[in-house]
Amino acid sequence: MKREANAIDFWRGFALITIFINHIPGIVFDRFTSKNFSISDSAELFVFLAGWSLRLIVGREDRPRPMPQIVFRLGGRAITLYAAHMMIGMIAIAILASASIVLDNPLLLEWHNAAAVFFDPVNTHIGMALLSHQLGYFDILPLYVVLMVIAPLVAAIDRYLPRLLLPLSIAIYLTALSVPITIPTWPTEGQWFFNPLCWQLVFVLGFVMAKPSGIGGFVRRHIRPIRWLALPMVIGGAIMVIYDIYPDPVDMPEPKLLFIVGKTFVTPIRLIQFLALVAVFSAAYGYIRKLGPRLVEPISMLGRNSLEVFCVGSVLSLLGQVVRFQTGGSYAIDTGLVATGVTILFLTAWLAEWQDRVTKAPAT
């Protein structure tokens, strides 16, 4: 039986639509997404909600799931994510190759870090399998795979040494920022766009905040004053983004990553602003549900089927880029792309639930 619409699925669905639009650079609707008004963007929301969802998997505090069951389930999820990443990566390569032939433009073979696939295929195929080679805009699922691989450890620490989890996660985060430590790519030289050593904290925070006791419980009990404290941060963050008044990274003291804004390392400024955003907008779902109940269910449906929707959305975004490249982009083209894309995302989610219903329906 499908889950009722809820805030988690709704915001995850919202993030999926936003990611779909943001992954078509240059599209006019990109200007209306949250990244234009917020230091953090939908990536933080997506990873935070993944951590929140982990809480549902480990079970309630009074009725926890057995650890072996958690390990198998999360391991299975990691394999599913890995397979999904491989699949959409291969589709993306095929899209770029096809587009380069059809549009007679070999430059498309080098788009989004695909050049190594075509020019150095022996090493790059190994790199893709090892997740050390990632295509541009296809780089968040490798982070997810890593998070799912460490998720059993996160769940175990939370169960047996709950007070250790957040401090340990923060210690890893601060170490990665202070040294700094990055995860290198191979065979092309570079680093993971989403540094897992830093982004794990967003995941752990989602997991910790979802817990009715501990810090999660404290936040729930004091959410009103926290929202008032968070509101100026959200407004301040919006002003920073709109007027482009970020601190100059060169002028910051060492270790600089503690004081500058950066997505790769999800630096403290981004992280704090994101948490403030969560605090403020946690109040919004109730109002949205009242004002637009017909909006809540379909968007929650996207969130309930996030992996399928994300994969289809990633491929559609790349197709959208090719269409914009060929047509030049315009209000009409961009509107058509977003309307078609979002419709297909809803269709994907609906099909996933339809298939689930058919599979689970008793045979007559």
Partner 1 sequence: MKLLPAFLALMVLAFSRPALAQAPAEIAAVPKECVGPGANDVQDPYLPNVAAALRDRKKIVILAIGSTSATMRGPIRGGYYAIVERILEKAFKPLDVVIIHRGVSGELAADAASRIKTEIALTKADLVLWQVGTADALAHVPIYEFRNTVTGQIRWLKEHKVDVILVGLRYAASLAKDPYYLGIRNIISDVAEKEKVIRLRRYDAEQALSKLNRDTAEGFDFAQNSEASSICTAEYIARAIAAGLFIKKAPPRPGTPGALPSAPAN
Query: Which residues inside 134-193 make contact with partner 1, applying CB under 8 A?
Result: 136-137, 180, 186-191, 193
Task: Go through the chain and tell me how many residues it has.
Answer: 364
Q: Which is nearer to partner 1, 56 or 101 (CB)?
A: 101
How far, in Å, CA of 279 to CA of 19, rounded? 21
Least distance CB 22 / partner 1 (angstroms): 11
* Element spanning 31, H or E: none
Tokens matching residue 159:
């169960």
Binding track, positions 83-122, relative to partner 1; x by CB under 8 A: --------------------xxxxxxxxxxxxxx-xxx-x
CB contact at 8 A, 210 and 154: no
Q: Which is nearer to partner 1, 71 or 238 (CB)?
A: 238
Least distance CB 44 / partner 1 (angstroms): 16
Residue 37 buriedness (CB in 10 A; 0-12 / 13-18 / 19+): middle
Handedness of CA 279, 283, 289, 292 (dihedral sign): negative
Asked whether position 125 contacts partner 1 by CB under 8 A, the answer is no
Omega before residue 187 within 30° of 0, cis: yes
Q: Which is nearer to partner 1, 24 or 50 (CB)?
A: 24
How far, in Å, CA of 170 to CA of 165, rounded? 9
Query: Which residues inside 230-259 make contact with partner 1, applying CB under 8 A?
Result: 246, 248-250, 252, 256-257
Asked whether position 217 contacts partner 1 by CB under 8 A, the answer is no
Asked whether position 61 contacts partner 1 by CB under 8 A, the answer is no
Least distance CB 57 / partner 1 (angstroms): 33
Residues 6+ apart with CB under 8 A from 350: 301
How far, in Å, CA of 338 to CA of 273, rounded? 28
**Tokens 């951590």 sit on residue:** 51
Q: Which is nearer to partner 1, 165 or 315 (CB)?
A: 315
Q: Which is nearer to partner 1, 123 or 340 (CB)?
A: 123
Helix, strand, or coil (residue 184): strand
Q: Which is nearer to partner 1, 180 or 268 (CB)?
A: 180
Note the residues at the interface with partner 1 (CB under 8 A): 25-26, 103-116, 118-120, 122-123, 136-137, 180, 186-191, 193, 246, 248-250, 252, 256-257, 260-262, 264, 321, 324-325, 328-329
